[in-house]
């Protein structure tokens, strides 16, 4: 475990090598990143085994009095701030290994490996193949750094690095104006949240005097921190999490981010980076639970995001965008779960969703690769063309819809349990609506492209190489089997709930009434989807025409993009131009160019004495001599 720091370092070296030799020298640019990630996975597996088998009795490892989980800390001195000899504050460059970071890092490494292998086939003909792989390596390096970091400063650095990689990869095909705009939008919107995170981190520094997470937690646990400080710090951190996890009202960037290559969407914008917000809230959970109001805000934001995005997903006609809205909806569900004290449930859902959504995105990548179209109304009948993809896609979709025995079922069930137990009936009903909606849109995404009536010719569809199908198969195996860790986790006497928990271990137990209600709702949604999309019965058609107005609003994503456009045009840009005016007139023209202009005009006034005529200079010299002589006479003699 003490070698975990090697994982990001190896990937970073791969990033440097690939950037240097990428496209031009090395045709097979994927080699270094893939080897790096395989090495990383090896180190990770050894570390995980060591952690599980140690029975938590290791050097550097202590059971945290706050979270109750065993965390192992490895750090070296980084820098000292302040004047030597007077109350200096030492910062440490360290990483922490506890169940939370193990889970998120494991998800990131595993999905990244699958996606990178998949990309060998998917990105094969791209002219910037090497650049793609080098940014991928940089991304995975910073994502692992983000998961392992034990202090907020390093976390912030990694946080911004993953944002940068996201920006670079969304705008990977920068020849497309849409991709360019989407990259800028993603960067700008997440920046808004990042400002909150930065202020929050600085506030922690002011309050606690340390960037170290465990220092913060013990300070909070000691009860020295005032409640409004806790509220504002956790609120600011949550702002960062909202930006990165595309929570309402920062959700607008994620659907546009689908302009990037599909494997990027699978890795960054579905499985790992967008989960960083959830990870941040989970990581600073001791802070959040201290503030009841903040927990309520987290769950409300999560609920609004989840339901709003799920509704859009039901009407979206672009396959990838629909999946993106589904991602937003599930991220909202994780936030809701965190806000409802479902710590384990949220992380379990994060992992299950990560595997399933990566699988779904890779499936849509297959469709993209073979028929080069993403409009689900123009697809239909794909099952005969892409049988393998159909099966894999169905596994992922059903898992997220919550079909029993697939991983999504277990995690979703646990989320619902925590909501029902810890929040009031409104939340419970809303979560049931959410379950219905997610079942509905998933069945829609299965039926319409794969089983719907075939209305176009697929004869020139491209064949899929095995290098794309095998990683998806591995992911599908995980999707099917992973959920069982909710009941029994290999290497542990008991389930995932005793591995990753907050304050006290809690085994998962299936509550039959809640589970059966969820299942019934899911099946109802499937039935509705069947009637709607397969039978196309008339009552639904009339429903559709009656609710035309509502559907138009949903189809236009509640006009959020337009609202933001107006906001930017009418408020932000005028203020910005005012500031720019100040900058240009006062700072630039007067402050900086002013002295220059003065010097230049004085120079151009007095340069006329430089005639280049030597007798003029000599004459001036003589005049000076005469004046000196007269002065001498006057002062000394008179």
Partner 1 sequence: MLELIHFNILSVLLFSVGLYGVLARKSAILIIMAIELMLNAVNINFIAAAAFKHGGGLFTNFDGHILTIFIITIAAAEVGLALALILRIFRNKSTVNVDQFDMMKL
Partner 2 sequence: MNMHLVIFSVISAVLISCALGVVISRNIVHSALFLLFALISVAGIYLVLLTEFLAIVQLLIYGGAIVIVILFALMLTRNEEYPRIQNNKLWPIAGILSVLVLITLSVSYFQSDVIRNASTTISPAGVKSLGSSLFTTWAIPFELASLVLLVALIGAIVIARSDKGGN
Summarize as ranges the residues that interact with partner 1 (CB under 8 A). Answer: 607, 610-615, 618-619, 622
Size of the site for partner 2 (CB under 8 A): 13
* Three-point CA angle 147, 151, 155, nearest 5°: 45
Q: Identify what 633 binds: partner 1, partner 2, none; CB under 5 to 8 Å per kind.
A: partner 2
Q: Give the span between the Cα atoms of 482 and 476, in whole angstroms.
A: 10
Contact partner, 630, from partner 2, partner 1, none, Cβ < 5-8 Å per class: partner 2
Name the minimum Å distance from CB 25 to partner 2: 50
Q: What is the DSSP letter of 622?
A: H
- Give yes or no for a contact between 125 and 79, defined as CB atoms under 8 angstroms apart: no
CA 537 distance to own-chain centroid: 40
Return the number of the residue (224 or 601) whose C-beta is nearest partner 1.
601
According to DSSP, residue 491 is labeled: T
Q: What is the DSSP letter of 559?
A: G
Nearest CB to partner 2, comparing residues 581 and 628 = 628
Binding partner selected for residue 504 from partner 2, partner 1, none, CB under the kind-specific 5 to 8 Å limit: none
Helix (H) or strand (E) holding 594: helix 593-606
**Which one of partner 2, partner 1, none is in contact with 611 (Cβ closer than 5 to 8 A by kind)?**
partner 1
**Could you tell me the smallest distance in angstroms from the CB atom of residue 625 to partner 2?**
7
Look at residue 612 and give the partner it binds from partner 2, partner 1, none, a contact being a CB closer than 5 to 8 Å depending on partner kind. partner 1
Residue 632, contacted partner among partner 1, partner 2, none, CB below 5-8 A by kind: partner 2
548 binds partner 2 (CB under 8 A): no
Query: Which residue, chain included where needed, has tokens 């392992």?
Result: 148
Question: CB 584 → partner 2: shortest distance, Å?
Answer: 48
The DSSP annotation for 459-476 comes to TTPPPPPHHHHHHHHHHH
Of partner 2, partner 1, none, which one sits near residue 24, judging by CB under 5 to 8 A according to partner kind?
none
Distance in Å, CB of 630 to partner 1, minimum: 15
What's the closest the beta carbon of residue 636 comes to partner 2, in angstroms? 8
Integer Cα distance of 306 and 493 in angstroms: 35
Helix (H) or strand (E) run with residue 311 in it: helix 292-315
| In contact, 432 and 468? CB cutoff 8 Å | no
CA 257 to chain centre: 11
Q: Using CB under 8 A as the criterion, what x/- string covers residues 584-623 for binding partner 2?
A: -----------------------------x-xx--x--xx
Q: Kindly tell me which of 65 and 622 has the beta carbon lying closer to partner 2.
A: 622
**Which residues, 38 to 97, sit near partner 2 by CB under 8 A?**
none
Query: To which residue do tokens 């299950």 refer?
Result: 352
Q: In the complex, what is the shortest distance from the CB of residue 580 to partner 2, in angstroms, rounded to a whole number?
A: 54
What tokens does 555 get?
A: 């189809």
The kind and range of the H/E element at 545 are helix 538-546
> Residue 610 binds which one of partner 1, partner 2, none, with CB within 5 to 8 A depending on kind?
partner 1
Q: How far apart are the first and last CA of the chain?
A: 96
Query: Which residue, 599 or 611, is less far from partner 1 as judged by CB?
Result: 611
Q: For residues 539 and 614, which CB has a smaller minimum distance to partner 1 in the complex?
A: 614
Give the nearest distance from C-beta 608 to partner 2 in angstroms.
15
Q: State the minimum distance, in angstroms, from the CB of residue 153 to partner 1.
A: 54
Would you give the DSSP letter of residue 70?
A: E
629 binds, among partner 1, partner 2, none (CB under 5 to 8 A by kind): partner 2
637 binds, among partner 1, partner 2, none (CB under 5 to 8 A by kind): partner 2
CA contacts within 13 A on the Cβ side of 566: 4
DSSP 2-41: TTTTHHHHHHHHHHHHHHHHHHHH-S-TTHHHHHHHHHHH
**What are the C-alpha distances in Å from 574 to residues 452, 570, 586?**
50, 7, 18
Q: Which residue, among 133, 113, 171, 121, has the nearest Cα to 366 in the 3D structure?
A: 121
| Residue 618: CB minimum distance to partner 2, A | 9
Q: Which is nearer to partner 1, 466 or 621 (CB)?
A: 621
| Distance of closest approach, residue 607 Cβ to partner 2, in angstroms | 19
What's the rounded Cα separation, in Å, for the pair 423 and 295? Answer: 11
Taking residues 616 to 635 in sequence order and writing x for each that binds partner 2 by CB under 8 A, - otherwise, the string is x--x--xx-xx--xx-xx--
Q: Which residues are paired to 19 by β-bridges?
A: none
Query: Which positions lie near partner 2, rule CB under 8 A?
Result: 613, 615-616, 619, 622-623, 625-626, 629-630, 632-633, 637
């Amino acid at each position: 475990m003490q070698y975990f720091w090697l994982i990001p370092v190896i990937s970073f070296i791969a990033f440097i090598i690939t950037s240097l030799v990428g496209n031009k020298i090395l045709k097979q640019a994927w080699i270094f990143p893939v080897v790096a990630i395989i090495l990383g996975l090896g180190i990770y597996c050894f570390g995980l085994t060591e952690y599980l088998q140690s029975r938590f009795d290791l050097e550097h490892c202590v059971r945290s009095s706050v979270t109750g989980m065993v965390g192992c800390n490895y750090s070296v001195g980084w820098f000292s701030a302040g004047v030597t000899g007077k109350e200096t504050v030492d910062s440490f460059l360290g990483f922490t290994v506890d169940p939370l970071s193990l889970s998120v890092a494991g998800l990131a490494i595993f999905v990244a490996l699958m996606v990178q292998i998949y990309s060998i086939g998917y990105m094969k003909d791209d002219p910037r193949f090497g650049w793609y792989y080098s940014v991928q390596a940089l991304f995975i390096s910073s994502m692992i750094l983000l998961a392992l970091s034990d202090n907020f400063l390093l976390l912030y650095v990694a946080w911004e690095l993953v944002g940068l990689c996201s920006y670079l990869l969304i705008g990977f095909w920068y020849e497309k104006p849409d991709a360019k705009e989407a990259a800028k939008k993603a960067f700008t919107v997440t920046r808004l949240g990042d400002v909150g995170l930065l202020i929050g981190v600085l506030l922690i520094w002011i309050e606690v005097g340390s960037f170290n997470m465990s220092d913060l937690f013990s300070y909070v646990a000691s009860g020295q921190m005032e409640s409004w400080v806790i509220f504002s710090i956790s609120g600011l951190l949550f702002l960062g999490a909202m930006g990165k996890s595309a929570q309402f009202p920062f959700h607008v960037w994620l659907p546009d981010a689908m302009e990037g290559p599909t494997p990027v969407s699978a890795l960054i914008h579905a499985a790992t980076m967008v989960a960083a917000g959830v990870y941040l809230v989970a990581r600073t959970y001791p802070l959040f639970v201290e503030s009841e109001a903040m927990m309520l805000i987290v769950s409300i934001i999560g609920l609004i995001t989840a339901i709003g995005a799920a509704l859009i997903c039901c009407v979206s006609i672009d396959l990838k965008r629909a999946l993106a809205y589904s991602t937003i909806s599930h991220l909202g569900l994780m936030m809701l779960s965190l806000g409802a004290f479902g710590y384990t449930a949220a992380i379990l859902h994060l992992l299950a969703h990560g595997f399933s959504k990566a699988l779904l995105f890779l499936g849509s990548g297959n469709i993209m690769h073979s028929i080069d179209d993403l409009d689900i109304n123009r697809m239909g009948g794909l099952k005969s063309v892409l049988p393998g993809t159909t099966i894999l896609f169905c596994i992922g979709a059903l898992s997220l819809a919550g079909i029993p025995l697939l991983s999504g079922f277990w995690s979703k069930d646990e989320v619902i349990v925590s909501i029902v137990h810890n929040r009031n009936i409104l939340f419970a009903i809303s979560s049931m609506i959410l379950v219905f909606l997610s079942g509905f849109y998933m069945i829609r995404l299965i039926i319409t492209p794969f089983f719907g009536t075939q209305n176009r010719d697929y004869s020139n569809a491209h064949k899929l190489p095995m290098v794309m199908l095998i990683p998806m198969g591995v992911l599908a195996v995980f999707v099917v089997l992973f959920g069982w860790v909710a009941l029994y986790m290999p290497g542990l006497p008991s389930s995932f709930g005793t591995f990753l928990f907050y304050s006290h271990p809690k085994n998962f137990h299936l509550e039959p009434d809640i589970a059966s209600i969820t299942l019934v709702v899911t099946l109802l949604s499937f039935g509705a989807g069947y009637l709607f999309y397969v039978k196309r019965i008339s009552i639904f058609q009339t429903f559709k025409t009656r609710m035309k107005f509502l559907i138009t609003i949903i189809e236009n994503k509640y006009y959020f993009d337009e609202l933001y456009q107006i906001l930017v045009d009418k408020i932000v840009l005028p203020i910005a131009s005012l500031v720019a005016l100040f900058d240009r007139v006062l700072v630039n023209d007067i402050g900086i160019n002013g002295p220059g202009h003065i010097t230049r005009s004085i120079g151009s006034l007095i340069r006329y004495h430089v005639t280049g005529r030597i007798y003029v200079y000599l004459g001036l010299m003589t005049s000076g001599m005469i004046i000196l002589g007269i002065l001498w006479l006057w002062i000394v003699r008179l």
